[in-house]
Amino acid sequence: MSTTLTQVPLTEAELKLLQTLVYQECGMYFDERRAHFLRDRLQRRLRVCQMDSFYAYYRLLTSREGKQELTALLENLTVNETSFFRIRPQLDLFQKVILEETLKRKQERRDWALRIWSAGCSTGQEPYTLAMLVCDAMAYYYLRNPLPFEMPTPKPLIPPPWKVEILASDINYSALLAAQQGLYTEQQMDAVEYTTRLRYFDKVGDKYTIKPALKSLVQFDFHNLKAEFLPRGNDMIFCRNVMIYFDEAEQKRLIDKFHRCLQPEGYLFVGHAESLFGLTSKFHMIHQNNATVYQRIETAP
């Protein structure tokens, strides 16, 4: 038996209103190619709200009572696809070149704080991957260059006096909750090697959970990248596969904000289908071994 769901008619004018509202709220831009996705999600939300007019739905979204529904709509519109160790060549560049150089430079200055931001972290695979890479990189770095301090036993993941903070943020509360829980299926663990599983995960039933010591390095928080004020003082920002959903004007604004949110000479990593080309003159591109990262350019005061 086939069940056809009744579709409430959506006029071009209503679509435009809702498209503009979504863009203003979170920067996601639904052009011609993606308008069918927006239409489909709007129909779904209308059914959930048991409404029969898109104009009434728009009125709800823009009212004080509609805040919760607006959050639900935005959650339905985000694409949360992610995985552990995504874009391996770029992560190698991060770990073997950028991080190595940053640790050396900071240690010389006796600056023991490292702050990395995963902006648009989805269900957490990206920030946990970064945490694992940082721990491994630090262990290897201090194997070759022992710190002139007494090391406690058992060895902590992060050798004191270093303080590592990985901020992970998203606009999708459900994704953030899953990230905070840090429980992953065998399928989601596909790219995680056995030695890494042994070091950083515990087995719970047929799933894997992040070990508490690794988890404690990652702080999850809600941040809408559309907001004017975003977390500052980062040595590196990962914003991968997020800007792809924004239009050019919003991408430019975001890149400008990232520039302000980075430490001098800090690094910005974007997805491999994304580029800063033609969008800014405040970063220069480093391309090595099939991977790209952008470094903040410092201008004379």
Ligand X SMILES: C[S@@+](CC[C@H](N)C(=O)[O-])C[C@H]1O[C@@H](n2cnc3c(N)ncnc32)[C@H](O)[C@@H]1O
The reply to whether 241 sits near ligand X by the rule CB under 6 A is: yes
Cβ neighbours of residue 139 closer than 8 Å, sequence gap 6 or more: 155
Q: Both tokens of residue 270? A: 């974007």
Instruction: Say how many residues touch ligand X, by CB under 6 A.
Output: 23
Residues 109-168 that bind ligand X (CB under 6 A): 120, 122, 126
The reply to whether 251 sits near ligand X by the rule CB under 6 A is: no
Identify the residue among 224, 233, 260, 290 touching ligand X (CB under 6 A): 224
3-state secondary structure (DSSP) of residue 64: helix
Least spacing, CB of residue 28 vs ligand X, in Å: 6
Least spacing, CB of residue 56 vs ligand X, in Å: 26
Contact range with ligand X by CB under 6 A, out of 21-29, 57-65, 135-143, 184-192: 21-29
Question: Please, which residue, 159 or 271, has the CB nearer to ligand X?
Answer: 271
Least spacing, CB of residue 146 vs ligand X, in Å: 35
d(CA 183, CA 25): 30
Contact range with ligand X by CB under 6 A, out of 49-57, 60-68, 81-89, 276-284: 81-89
Question: Please, which residue, 14 or 126, has the CB nearer to ligand X?
Answer: 126
The reply to whether 172 sits near ligand X by the rule CB under 6 A is: yes
d(CA 230, CA 222): 11
Contact range with ligand X by CB under 6 A, out of 56-64, 99-107, 224-232, 259-267: 224-232
Q: Give the residues across from 295 on adjacent strands.
A: 267, 284
The reply to whether 282 sits near ligand X by the rule CB under 6 A is: no
**What Cα–Cα distance (Å) separates residue 297 from each residue in 117, 142, 147, 282, 284?**
19, 29, 31, 5, 7
Cβ neighbours of residue 10 closer than 8 Å, sequence gap 6 or more: 39, 42, 43, 54
Q: Is 199 exposed, middle or buried (0-12, 13-18, 19+ CB in 10 A)?
A: middle
Identify the residue among 34, 39, 47, 86 touching ligand X (CB under 6 A): 86
DSSP annotation of 93 reads I
The reply to whether 170 sits near ligand X by the rule CB under 6 A is: yes
The reply to whether 99 sits near ligand X by the rule CB under 6 A is: no
Contact range with ligand X by CB under 6 A, out of 199-207, 234-242, 257-265, 287-295: 234-242
3-state secondary structure (DSSP) of residue 50: coil
DSSP annotation of 157 reads S
Least spacing, CB of residue 143 vs ligand X, in Å: 30
Q: Is 65 exposed, middle or buried (0-12, 13-18, 19+ CB in 10 A)?
A: exposed
Q: Both tokens of residue 67? A: 């805040």
Measure CA 261 to chain center.
15
d(CA 55, CA 37): 19
The reply to whether 188 sits near ligand X by the rule CB under 6 A is: no
Contact range with ligand X by CB under 6 A, out of 62-70, 80-88, 151-159, 277-285: 80-88
Of all helices (H) and strands (E), which one includes residue 13? helix 12-26
Least spacing, CB of residue 79 vs ligand X, in Å: 5
Site residues for ligand X per CB under 6 A: 26-28, 78-82, 86, 120, 122, 126, 170-172, 175, 224-226, 240-242, 271
